[in-house]
Every structure is written in structure tokens, then in C-alpha cells.
Amino acid sequence: MGLTGGSGSDTLDPHNGLTFLDTSRAQSLYNPLVQLDLNAQTQYVLAESITPNKTATEFIIRLRPGITFHSGKPLTADDVIYTFRRIVSGPYSGASSLGPVDLAGLKALDKLTVRMPMTAPFASLIDQMAFWYYLYIVPDGFEPKKGDKPNGTGPFVYQNFTPGQRSVFTRNPNYWRHGLPWVDSVTIIDFSDGVALQDALSTGAIHAAGALEGPQIAALETTSGVTTVPSQTGAITPFTMRVDVPPFNDVRVRQALRLLVNRQQLIDSALDGYGMTASDVFSLYDPDFDHSLQRVQDIAQAKSLLKAAGHEKLRVTLTTSAVATGTVAMATVLAEQASAAGVHITLNNVTPTVFFGKGNGRDTGYLNWPFSQDFYNYSPYMAQTAQSMLKASPFNETHTSNRQGLYNQANATPDPAARKQILHEMQMLDFNTGGYIIPAFIDGLDAYSTKITGYERGSKAGQPLSNLDFQYFAFV
């Protein structure tokens, strides 16, 4: 399998990943309690059930029986408790998904049952857990040191790993899903760019290429022995504006930049048509998504807002990097469109290592650029909010800090109809004052050798290569 976007910072720690490559390794070696399936619906994995009490202040987690780690150790309630405590105490990115969990009160009721008390109501827990990329279950006492082999419950077992280059995993003969995986080994290779990835697939050096861009898909469509698979997803590649620094601390500037965007033109030009128009609000497939919120290009209104804000000839720098499908192309088109309103956007195109790492004197890379980009697969609205829109969110690139009250109110509202009203209020706030420009829901673009099968033709969740579930892949 081939992907792009890795670096020397690649990790095997399932709670510390960041890129598609990190998730591809974690998804091969570990399992979560729940995750989103290809239709963006919650699917139970290691958990058999997760049941709340009437006030959403306590949950009972029941595990599937008969599951073992690669070491042969049985999966038990103690492993779940240890995993939760490790994630929250780390703290790792998954901590926000576990919300107000009472770590001291976690208790194993029997070998397969966990009582999970909360210090406050948390009605969105199951939706939060569906943001599974940072919630893989590890064995009690897991704290990897250099040279330690990963020890998960996943379909493949560690063989070797070179950061920024490749990972090799072999079939887990004791995998709990009997008969899977269907191949003896998986090699995940990091490529420098989409063209190199395309060439590797077209020459037969690899069997699958994920997260491609439009030009690569166009070329591969006419390549013998290759099948291209575009998928309509809820994934987003937002432009991120820090709401706490000039000029983006003025909501009129943020709204003006949003109004500059010709969304369909951006999709056609930067994404080769592979996307659906969006209006700066995320979580398309959430049942509570407000489809009435629509934004179209309005240059006159954008100019008026900029004039009122004292920024008629606005000049800003947009930091971009080839870290996901279409990022640099989207930045280029946005700069072209902005010029129609007299806005000058200078592109700062950096390497993925600088973008994600400690570059340009910044401690956390892309989370601190005043004007930049990011990418997310689809997740339910409350889960995405927890990840990026709260003051303590691990990926709060916009430095938003005024969502906590409504977020807490929604979590304290078990009634679905009443909670939907609160979520619509939150989405209206995102639409009117938020720091994201979300011009499109990005299609997933994958391609496969005709020598393999087992992949699905579409993943609404947005993870490449059929949700990175290599356990189902097989040779024809």
C-alpha cells in the first residue's frame, strides 16, 4: 500500500498519531471499541455494547469475549481502564473524546465489563468514541520504549518499521475475526508525492495507492491493470483563521474571506471536480447537520465588510503544504479568487515536516499559523467540535474559545430532539462567526491493482483505502 505525508516523526504509538500513515499502522495493529463504518455509521468493534444510564453520567461497556493481544494475553476490562487512563493522563489527542470521564471511578465489574462514570453528563460519548483514530485499546501497562514491539489486538503483527519510509506487518494467526486477514503480510510505503505514488501503482511496485489527487486519478483511469475508486465523503480540508490574532480577530474579515470563495469553481479547479460544495460547517453525515446553512460567493458584500473593518487592501500570508488531497491547489485557487476583492494572499508553501513540526520558531507547527490549512476525515458534529473547536481541543488551529457552554449543554441533554436544537445553534455560530473556511467536502481518491480485491467502492468517513481496513484485502 502507498500513501504520502509521512516524515521522520511517524509513530507506532496508537494514541499519538497524526497522519494517514500513522493511522494505517494503528488500524493494522490495534482495534478500537467502536469506529465509523464505510457509511459513516457507528460500528462496534472490541465493544459488544456501550449503555448509558438515564442521565448520561455513567456508561457500561461490555467487551467481546475470546479476544487476545498479539502476545497471547486475553483482552479484559483492565486493558480498557488502563487505555482510558493513559490517553487522558498523557494527555493524548483522544482525551477530548472521553470528555469528563472519572478516571478514579473506572471499575471492572467483571473480566469483560467496565463501569465508566463521568463527572458531568456526556450524552455524546458513543459519537465521540466513533472518532476512533486516537482511541485504540492497548494492554494494561503498555508504555512503549525504543525497541519494543507493538502489542495490539489487530489483524496484523509488527515485523519492522522505518519512520518516513515503510512499515511491514504480518498476518495475525490468532485474530479474533476468524478467517481474517486474507493476506500474509502488508507493507505500507511512504511516498514523497502523488506523482511518485501514481508511478509506483502503474508500474506494479505497489497494489494500492491512497489519498491521490485529481491528476493522478485521471492518469490512472487509462492505465492497464488499475482500477480507480473515488468516494464522496464528509472529509474537510478547512482553511484555518486564528480568531485571536489580527486581522482574523475581526469577524468581518473572517466573513469577508468566506464570501470571496467561489466554491464550485474551487472544486473544479483545485480538486478536478472531486468534491461537494460546503458552507463552512462540518459533519455532513451527522443526523443533526443543518442543511439550511448555505453560503455563496458575494464579492460586493466581502468588499463592504473589509472596508468596514479597515482592511480594504488586505494582505495576508497563507501557509500551505502537500499534506492531504488538494491542499496546495486549493490554497492557490483561493489566492486567485481573493484578488477579485483586492485581497492579496501570499502563499507560504512548506514541507510536511515543517508544517506539522517545530518549524519557523513555532512549538506546534500548523496549530499556530495565523492563516493555514488542516484536514479531517468525517466525524459526528460533537466529536469534531471536541477535537477542534473548544479551548482545550487538541487541534484547535483557530484558537476558538466560546463553544464550551453550548457543548456542555448539548452533552447534558439526553433527549435527541432537544439536543438537535442545541447543535443547530452551535452550527449557526460556526456559520456566522467561526474561524474555518470549508469550501468543500473532499472526495476520497484511491486506486488499486486489478490483482487485488476486498476493498469497497466508497467510504463516507473519508479514511483512504477503504478505511485502511487491510484485513479484508485479498489477491484475486
Domain co-membership, 57 together with 104 = yes
Q: What is the pLDDT of residues 246-304, one digit of tens each?
A: 999 999 999 999 999 999 999 999 999 999 999 999 999 999 999 999 999 999 999 99
Asked whether residue 20 is assigned to any structural domain, the reply reads no
Residue 287 belongs to a domain: yes
Listed residue (186, 194, 196) closest to 445, CA to CA? 194
Given this model, what pLDDT does residue 360 score?
40
CB atoms within 10 A of CB 391: 11
- Structural domain total, the chain: 3
Q: Does residue 344 share a domain with residue 469?
A: no
- Phi and psi based region of residue 211 (left: phi greater than 0; alpha: psi -120 to 50; beta: remaining): left
321 and 424 inside one domain: yes
How far does Cα 140 stand from its chain's mean position?
A: 26
On whether both 251 and 339 belong to a single domain, the answer is yes
Place of cell 494475553: 73
> Could you tell me the CATH number of the domain that includes residue 164?
3.40.190.10
pLDDT tops 60 at residue 362 = no
**pLDDT at residue 444 tops 90:** yes
Q: Does 300 share its domain with 422?
A: yes
| Residue 212 sits in the same domain as residue 265 | no
Question: Does residue 317 surpass a pLDDT of 50?
Answer: yes
**CA–CA separation, 305 vs 308, rounded Å?**
5
In this structure, what are the phi and psi dihedrals at residue 168, rounded to the nearest 5 degrees? -125, 125
Give the residue-averaged pLDDT of 350-373: 76
Residues 215 and 185 in one domain: yes
pLDDT for 48 equals 98
Give the pLDDT confidence of 179-234 residue by residue, as tens digits: 999 999 999 999 988 899 999 999 999 999 999 989 999 999 999 999 999 999 99
Using pLDDT thresholds of 50, 70 and 90, give the confidence band for residue 148.
confident
In this prediction, residues 54-74 reach a mean pLDDT of: 98
Mean pLDDT of the chain: 95
- Rounded to an integer, what distance in angstroms lies between the CA atom of residue 327 and that of residue 352? 11
Do 311 and 450 reside in the same domain of the chain? no
Domain of residue 88: give its range.
30-134
300 is written with which cell numbers? Answer: 460586493
84-136 per-position pLDDT tens digit:
999 999 999 999 999 999 999 999 999 999 999 999 999 999 999 988 989 99
Judge if pTM exceeds 0.85: yes
400 and 300 co-located in one domain: yes
pLDDT band for position 365 (cuts 50, 70, 90): confident
Query: What percent of the chain shows pLDDT beyond 90?
Result: 89
